[in-house]
Structure 1
Amino acid sequence: MSGSDNLTGEWDGTFAYPDVPEAGPVTPFLARLSEAGGVLTGSVIEPNEFAEGTVRATVCGSRIGKSVHFAKTYHGAGWEYRQTVLYYGRLNDDGTRIAGEWQIDHWRGPFEMTRDPLPAAEVSVRDKAEAGIER
């Protein structure tokens, strides 16, 4: 695995709803992810669609090759956010974009997350660490 494939870091994202009258707007979010051995954990913050302020959630999932799967569970956000959201996506070749689909019951829509590429020096250090080579 190259350093650019590790999902650890900050990701800017958006998710969209189906094109139906009762659906919400395109929603931005910030995800802070950590990946170790293909296990994905982290947190998300996004605007509250039903009140002022923001809502927070935790992320738990996995990455196998380029496939990324995770569940987003909201905490203390009110009854509108009671259901866990499932995300199914694919990482691009340079490790800077994940795109796919989210799902809650019969609701589903697209999502996308992007991040800046890692500097070459950081990729080299990460590759060595993952290979068990001392610096």
Structure 2
Amino acid sequence: MTEESELLTGDWLGTYYYPRTLEPVAFEASLIEFDGILTGTTSEVFPLPSHGERKIQGHLDGERSGDAVRFSKVYVGASGPHRREIFYAGTIWDRSTRIEGTWTLANSWSGVFKMTRIRQKQASFRRRLFEEIKA
């Protein structure tokens, strides 16, 4: 069983990379791990070539087994190519503070992703800063 301090529950910053010439996309994730089951949400600003940028949310479901994670992401309310489920498989590193692996869009593209845990102080600072910016 995973020690409490090594659970993946918390806030994460990440980047996923395309296999082609498209720019990498940064994302934020909030994960909850309970008894090997992972769930969570993502938020990212996706570049649209002719339309600028669009913020999209995603929902994650998956599992953890030791240092391995597998989960899928489905964008909420998405249209077009963003309606398809994306599969992730990765390895947990550095006492559960980093995840690296690959993502796959079935019968289509795949690439690399990396995630780093946000320390609690950083997370509360970011939330406070975000609230000040919104006001």
Structure 1 letter corresponding to 2:12: W
What displacement does 1:118 show? 6.8
Which deviations, in whole Å up to 9, do the C-alpha atoms of 1:26-52 show, x marking residues without a partner? Answer: 000000000100000010000122243
State the percentage of identical aligned residues.
37
Of Structure 1 and Structure 2, the greater strand share is in 2
1:41 to 32, 39, 42: 39
Which deviations, in whole Å up to 9, do the C-alpha atoms of 1:91-125 show, x marking residues without a partner? Answer: 01411000000000231110000014579xxxxxx
- TM-score computed with the length of structure 1 as normaliser: 0.79
Q: Give the distance between the partners of 1:93 and 1:48, measured in 2 at CA.
A: 29
Q: Give the distance between the partners of 1:45 and 1:8, measured in 2 at CA.
A: 16
Structure 2 gaps, min length 5: 122-135
Structure 1 gaps, min length 5: 120-135
What displacement does 1:77 show? 2.4
Structure 2 letter corresponding to 1:99: E
Structure 1 letter corresponding to 2:36: G
Q: Give 1 or 2 for the bigger CA radius of gyration.
A: 1
Q: 1:10-29 counterparts in 2 under 5 A?
A: 10-18=11-19, 20-21=20-21, 24-29=22-27
Q: Give the distance between the partners of 1:75 and 1:93, measured in 2 at CA.
A: 31
**Matched residues, number:** 116
Over aligned residues, Cα RMSD in angstroms? 1.7
- 2:63 equivalent in structure 1: 62
Structure 2 letter corresponding to 1:35: E
